[in-house]
Amino acid sequence: MKRLHFHQKLRIIASHQNVRTMMLKRRDNTRALAAFVAKKQEIDEMLARIATLSDDHFQTTPDTVNWGHVGALENYASLLKRITDTAFREGEHAA
């Protein structure tokens, strides 16, 4: 059996540690990916509900619309603008 020098042993140990680290990262990435997909699905469902509500004119009609409806839409638009500014790095989030 060939005797290994100290630096060769260190390389072998480092190699095993790198493999173990990669496996741990892979495992952590798998959990992160699952959480990401679940959160994306939650967002997609919220967006679908908002689109349906918008298609229904936010549950109002031309005869019943009032300034309260306008205020509600202003609030929704403000909240959505914060989201889009953050997501697209626009507004105060621009680089």
pLDDT, residue 63, reads: 97
C-alpha to C-alpha distance for 67 and 2, rounded to whole angstroms: 87
What is residue 23's predicted lDDT score, i.e. its pLDDT? 64
Q: Per residue in 26-81, pLDDT tens? A: 667 899 999 999 999 999 999 999 999 999 999 999 999 999 999 999 999 999 99
Predicted TM-score (pTM) of the model is 0.67
Q: Are 7 and 13 in contact, with CB atoms under 8 Å apart?
A: no
CA distance 83 to 21: 36
pLDDT band of residue 2 (cuts 50, 70, 90) is low
How confident is the model over 21-29, as a mean pLDDT? Answer: 70
- Domain spans, the chain: 1-55, 60-95
